[in-house]
């Protein structure tokens, strides 16, 4: 009987010890679980099914009108050199403002002056072709004709006397033939002189056409040189801020151009939405944009949805799990950037409100 009572006491003690140990372990694990539940959630990178009507993604700031790359033309089959750079990074410029002057301008200006002198010469040639020969040349030719006419009359008179002498037998037939030949030669010279006079007095259309063609060619070459000369003065294609300079004074303007220009007062966020979630995105939807580090939060509006899938460019803290992600770019206009700077390329976290929250109504039967 004593053994039975002692056995029950041992069993009761073991059960009490087991219950106390379980309670202690549960109390030790509960704070850890509580701390884990209060930890900050990871940054969204895909639509969270636990938050209906929202899509979380990453993105970056960029100008709403994109960045304009101001390039430079080639000069004599080589990249141009920047002779003078008239702006610096951060400057605001207006449309048409001169940004830089390239080398080669004196050479092109000299070529333009030479062509302009040729243009004047072409105009003079047109005037000459339309006017025909000079008046002194025509007068000289007429005087030559008058002289040859006198020669022809003289030769005719001599031939008549020779024929009379030949009839009386005073001269030979050879002398008569000589006088006849002299007359024919004088007549031929007169005819040639008269033909030359008609040619001098006549304006040939072919000469005018050639002169006019030379004038048109000179004008087209001057226009071409004018275009080249204007291209050596680089102007701003639009108003904006100089955000980056690639070629300074004395440097070569290569494939990167001279500088980048952007309107940094009208900024947007380029969101990278998963291709599986983009069907929920619509134009006009509201988005929340938070700069990296939680420095500032702003609101925006979806204004453009991309039509092509691409590989993600903005990687989160764990790029291995995100490197093969396929995303669609979504443009979100951010009006708040007009009040505070939004650096180009700065990473942001974006939550797009795809639909308002839906509430479920539970109807209970009346008692």
The answer to whether position 288 is within a domain reads yes
Q: How far apart are CA 215 and CA 43, in angstroms?
A: 72
Q: Mean pLDDT, to the nearest integer, of 327-343?
A: 86
User: pLDDT digits over 125-158, tens only?
Assistant: 777 776 665 667 777 878 888 888 888 888 888 8
What range defines the domain where residue 163 resides? 112-224
Please give the full DSSP string across 32-75, using - where no structure is assigned.
Answer: HHHHHHTSPPPPP-S--TTSTTEEEEEEEEEETT--EEE---EE
Please check the confidence at residue 25 and state whether its pLDDT lies above 50.
no
Phi, then psi, of 189 in degrees rounded to 5: -65, -35
Q: How confident is the model at residue 109 (pLDDT cuts 50, 70, 90)?
A: confident
Those residues with Cβ within 8 angstroms of residue 324's Cβ, 6 or more apart along the chain or in another chain: 311
Same domain, 116 and 208: yes
Q: What global pTM score does this model have?
A: 0.53
pLDDT value of residue 43: 44
Please check the confidence at residue 28 and state whether its pLDDT lies above 50.
no
Same domain, 92 and 239: yes
By the 10 Å C-beta count (0-12 exposed, 13-18 middle, 19+ buried), 247 is classed as: buried
Please give the full DSSP string across 180-232, using - where no structure is assigned.
Answer: HHHHHHHHHHHHHHHHHHHHHH---HHHHHHHHHHHHHHHHHHHHHHHHHHHT
Q: Quick one: which of 103, 65, 66 has its CA closest to 84?
A: 103
Please check the confidence at residue 7 and state whether its pLDDT lies above 70.
no
Average pLDDT, the chain: 78
Number of domains in the chain: 3
User: pLDDT digits over 68-96, tens only?
Assistant: 999 888 777 778 889 899 999 999 999 99
Which of 203, 224, 245 marks a domain boundary?
224
Q: Mean pLDDT, to the nearest integer, of 324-352?
A: 86
In this predicted structure, which of 15-29, 97-111, 136-150 has the lowest mean pLDDT? Answer: 15-29
Q: How confident is the model at residue 360 (pLDDT cuts 50, 70, 90)?
A: very low
Which of 200, 224, 248 marks a domain boundary?
224
Query: What CATH number does residue 75 fall under?
Result: 2.40.50.100
User: pLDDT digits over 265-280, tens only?
Assistant: 888 999 999 988 989 9
């Amino acid at each position: 009987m004593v053994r039975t009572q002692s056995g029950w006491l041992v069993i009761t003690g073991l059960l009490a010890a087991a219950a106390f140990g379980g309670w202690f372990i549960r109390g030790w694990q509960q704070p850890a679980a509580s701390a884990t539940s209060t930890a900050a959630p990871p940054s969204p990178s895909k639509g969270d099914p636990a938050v209906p009507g929202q899509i979380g993604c990453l993105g970056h700031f960029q100008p709403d009108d994109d960045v304009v790359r101001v390039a430079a033309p080639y000069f004599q089959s080589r990249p141009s050199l920047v002779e003078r750079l008239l702006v610096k990074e951060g400057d605001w410029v207006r449309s048409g403002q001169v940004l830089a002057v390239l080398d080669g301008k004196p050479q092109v200006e000299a070529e333009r002056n030479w062509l302009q002198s040729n243009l004047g010469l072409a105009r003079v040639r047109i005037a000459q072709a339309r006017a025909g020969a000079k008046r002194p040349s025509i007068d000289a030719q007429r005087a030559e004709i008058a002289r040859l006419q006198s020669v022809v009359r003289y030769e005719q008179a001599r031939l008549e006397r020779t024929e009379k002498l030949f009839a009386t037998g005073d001269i030979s037939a050879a002398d008569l033939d000589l006088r006849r030949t002299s007359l024919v030669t004088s007549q031929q010279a007169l005819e040639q002189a008269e033909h030359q006079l008609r040619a001098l007095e006549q304006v040939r259309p072919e000469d005018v056409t050639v002169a006019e063609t030379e004038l048109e060619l000179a004008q087209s070459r001057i226009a071409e040189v004018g275009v080249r000369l204007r291209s050596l003065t680089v102007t701003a294609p639009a108003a904006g801020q100089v955000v980056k300079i690639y070629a300074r004074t004395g440097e070569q303007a290569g494939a990167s151009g001279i500088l980048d220009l952007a309107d940094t007062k009208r900024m947007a966020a380029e969101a990278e939405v998963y291709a599986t979630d983009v069907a929920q995105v619509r134009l006009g939807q509201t988005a929340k944009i938070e700069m990296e580090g939680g420095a500032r939060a702003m609101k925006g509006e979806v204004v453009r949805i991309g039509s092509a899938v691409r590989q993600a460019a903005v990687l989160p803290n764990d790029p291995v799990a995100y490197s093969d992600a396929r995303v669609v770019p979504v443009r979100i206009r951010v009006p708040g950037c007009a009040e505070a700077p939004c650096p180009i390329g700065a990473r942001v976290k974006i939550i797009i409100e795809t639909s308002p929250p839906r509430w479920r109504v539970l109807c209970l039967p009346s008692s």
